[in-house]
Amino acid sequence: MSLTGKWTSPVSTEAITRSDQFEKGTIGAFRELDLTILARQIAIDPLPKLDLTLAVTNLLNTNNRYPYFRGKDPTQYEEAGRVFWIGGKFCF
């Protein structure tokens, strides 16, 4: 099992708007907690070796935003909310 946290404090920014004016802004704090659970070589007949992975990114469903760095647009984009992943690997 793995529990990973990410955090950054708020960041002040400056951008040039489409009308070539400077615009000051702030990108809020970034907080994320991810959980991964891995089960290896589970013996289930007739599958001799099965690995399963369950992962949840943004476990607390925090509203994080990313800045748009390309171009003259100070827009911020919302990160995906809570996401569930399941994976499997079969070996024989």
Q: pLDDT digits over 22-75, tens only? A: 878 777 788 899 999 988 877 777 767 888 899 999 999 888 877 666 655 556
What's the average model confidence in pLDDT over 4-23? 81
Q: How many CA atoms lie within 13 A of 30 on its CB side?
A: 15
As for how many domains the chain has, the answer is 1
pLDDT, greater one: 78 or 60: 60
Which residues are within 8 A (CB) of 45 and not within 5 positions of it... i.e. 6 or more apart? none
Higher-confidence position of 31 and 11: 31
* Domain coverage including residue 61: 2-91
Instruction: Look up the pTM and report it.
Output: 0.62
CA-nearest of 67, 73, 75 to 11 is: 67
| Main-chain dihedrals φ then ψ at residue 18, nearest 5 degrees | -65, -25
pLDDT recorded at residue 23: 77
The two tokens of residue 72 are 């003259």
